[in-house]
Amino acid sequence: MDYGICALSHVPVRKEPSDKSELITELLFGECYTILNQEGNWFLVQNAADGYEGWIDFKQHFPVSEAYFSEWQVQQHPRTLNLVDFIYNNQNRIPLLLGSTLPFFVGNSVRLGEEEYSFAGQVSDLNIAPEAHFLQNIARLFLKAPYVWGGRTVFGLDCSGFVQQVYSLCHYQLPRDAWQQAAHGQEVHFASQTKPGDLAFFDNAEGRIVHVGLMLDGNQIIHAHGEVRIDTLDHQGIFNADRKRYTHQLRIIKRIFPNL
């Protein structure tokens, strides 16, 4: 089996092996993956972090050894905290986006496969437990980021990609899609009992979970809907003051960090 790592700021992952196929997710810098299949110039990959599968262009594949991949899987890696930054060595300068993984970060050194890079930006602290104030501040960094189906970066992301990124910066790995994320945590039975960091999930007319947002103080919710924005949540759902109507129907609320 072959392995790789995302060595660009982000790489599109598509539903089918074609540039015309829809974007279903993205690999972000520093995320490892397994190659499951090849079709023409396309690799079917599985993201080692969240298990999501899709097709990437072979030109954006950066191979790593099985030993590197195995070591990457069992070790925690810090994330970048600046909106935009870069790593560099004598040959290359690679742009990074908020939430990028820094593989085997020690001092200011990053190990990308067999190559060494330097990084001088802000990084998340693996030794600090998640804290409500930090989580809310991280979430607010994404405000006004445009909604993009399948996106996971500050320059375009969907609702579950947004929530996944915020939690990854707190070193908690959520699955990729909202319906998968809803299986995590402990249920909060009333909207009036939410705490910052709780996740609220919303369903459609068929009862399928199709949206997720993250609770802030004062019954406010931050979520990706057209853009990352802040609205109000009650027992019925999300109320958009700009449109003066409810936009999403509440299904369930989950607390991921009980001690937050």
Rounded distance, CA 199 to CA 218, Å?
14
Q: pLDDT 10s per residue in the chain (260 long)?
A: 899 999 999 999 999 999 999 999 999 999 999 999 999 999 999 999 999 999 999 999 999 999 999 999 999 999 999 999 999 999 999 999 999 999 999 999 999 999 999 999 999 999 888 888 889 999 999 999 999 999 999 999 999 999 999 999 999 999 999 999 999 999 999 888 999 999 999 999 899 999 999 999 999 999 999 999 999 999 999 999 999 999 999 999 999 988 77
Backbone Cα Rg of the chain = 19
CB atoms inside a 10 Å sphere around CB 225: 18
Rounded distance, CA 158 to CA 177, Å?
10
Q: What is the pTM of this model?
A: 0.96
